């Protein structure tokens, strides 16, 4: 029997104090073999889900030209305390989905709930409980790394220690360097650091390892794993198979605005590319999605 889910407030407090462990985190809902991995288990309650998206559609209507559909009836469920990957090629709808989750975009249709609330209706709560590292963003150019993280930490009531975040992100040697003098990879790590320093309930990362060398990427992965071990939830978008396989508990493969496949890395390989790799899964499901689209056309 699954114990009653803890209140969001209590989970928030435990997460902040770093005492949220697998022992006291709400256990994952029961799954039985044969369950459809694209749907939450029958006995799951909404409180087991950090993110719940049903039938999400996002259409852009430019001033000139035809409307484009960036996301087309997407369903997504992210469980508390997990690292969930959005894997897909450029233009698959990953960034649009992430921006909608943090309230920067409004859905054209469908329902989006983050930590139980509508991110557009309750933007203030989302800003407090969710930290995002957007794909296209920059921080103040003329601050040093230390100055910037100290300021970012001050935006939140119980932030992490900025010096600890600097060390975790491998930026100790650059702490007194101004942002405009950092390399692309260093700036990317700093952006992730601004998200981590707030100790959010939900961490949303949009292609966080872009521009990182292998060592820096490992450091980043360790930081994300440590955050999850501390009780946080991560939604991570990437087009790196290696990153998805290394980090994610569950992966949703997106293509042309839809979830083409979802599951653990092992279950995806078993179902779509037996004996292969996640890259083979990616090629198989995206090719299938494209062919399906052509047939429909």
Partner 1 sequence: MSAEAISAIVSSTGTSSSTAAMSNDPHNDAPERRATPGATAQLLRVQTREFVRERRGFFTSLILPLGLSALFLGMAVLLPSPASGGGFDETVMAIVVFLTVSTAPLSATAASLADARARGTLRLLGTTPVGRARLVLTHVPARLGLVLAQLALLIGVGAALGFVPVAQAPAMLGVALLGVALFGSIGYLLGGLLPTAETAWNVSTLVQLVPFFLSGLIPMLSLLPDPVENTLSVVPTFFFADLLIGLGSSGESTHPVWLSVAVVAGTAALIAALAVRLFRWDQGEER
Smallest gap from Cβ 64 to partner 1, in A, equals: 16
C-beta closer to partner 1: residue 159 or 263: 159
Smallest gap from Cβ 146 to partner 1, in A, equals: 12
Smallest gap from Cβ 101 to partner 1, in A, equals: 10
- Nearest alpha-carbon partner for 25 in 233, 234, 247, 195: 233
C-beta closer to partner 1: residue 6 or 267: 6
> Distance from CA of residue 42 to its chain's centroid?
24
Smallest gap from Cβ 122 to partner 1, in A, equals: 6
Footprint of partner 1 (CB under 8 A): 4-10, 12-13, 16, 45-47, 102-106, 115-117, 122, 124-125, 127-132, 134, 136-143, 147-148, 150-152, 154-158, 178, 191, 194, 198
C-beta closer to partner 1: residue 99 or 255: 99
Smallest gap from Cβ 291 to partner 1, in A, equals: 32
C-beta closer to partner 1: residue 144 or 267: 144
Long-range contacts of 160-169 (CB under 8 A, 24+ apart): 160/196, 160/197, 160/198, 160/199, 162/197, 165/193, 165/196, 165/197, 166/193, 168/193, 168/196, 168/219, 168/222, 168/223, 168/226, 169/193, 169/196, 169/219, 169/220, 169/223
C-beta closer to partner 1: residue 135 or 277: 135
Q: Judging by DSSP bridges, how do beta strands 233-238 and 202-206 pair with one another?
A: parallel
Write out the two tokens for 96.
Answer: 């649009």
């Amino acid at each position: 029997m699954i114990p009653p889910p803890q209140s969001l407030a209590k989970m928030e407090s435990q997460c902040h104090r770093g005492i949220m462990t697998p022992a006291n985190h709400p256990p994952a809902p029961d799954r039985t073999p044969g369950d459809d991995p694209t749907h939450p288990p029958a006995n799951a309650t909404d409180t087991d889900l950090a993110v719940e998206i049903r039938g999400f559609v996002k259409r852009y209507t430019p001033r000139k030209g035809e409307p484009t559909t960036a996301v087309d009836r997407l369903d997504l469920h992210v469980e508390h305390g997990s690292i969930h990957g959005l894997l897909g090629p450029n233009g698959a709808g990953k960034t649009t989905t992430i921006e909608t989750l943090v309230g920067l975009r409004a859905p054209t249709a469908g329902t989006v709930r983050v930590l139980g609330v509508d991110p557009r209706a309750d933007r203030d709560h989302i800003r407090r409980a969710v930290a995002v590292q957007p794909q296209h963003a920059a921080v103040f150019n003329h601050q040093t790394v230390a100055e910037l993280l100290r300021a970012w930490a001050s935006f939140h009531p119980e932030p992490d220690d900025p010096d600890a975040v600097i060390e975790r992100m491998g930026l100790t040697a650059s702490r007194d360097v101004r942002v405009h003098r950092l390399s692309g990879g260093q700036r990317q790590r700093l952006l992730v650091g601004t998200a981590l320093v707030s100790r959010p309930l939900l961490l949303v990362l949009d292609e966080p390892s872009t521009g990182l060398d292998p060592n820096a990427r490992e450091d980043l992965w360790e930081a994300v794993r440590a955050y999850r071990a501390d009780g946080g939830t991560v939604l991570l978008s990437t087009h790196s198979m290696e990153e998805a396989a290394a980090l994610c508990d569950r992966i949703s493969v997106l293509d042309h605005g839809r979830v083409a496949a979802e599951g653990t890395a092992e279950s995806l390989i078993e179902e779509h590319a037996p004996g292969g790799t996640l890259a083979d899964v990616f090629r198989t499901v995206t090719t299938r999605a494209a062919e399906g689209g052509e047939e429909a056309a």
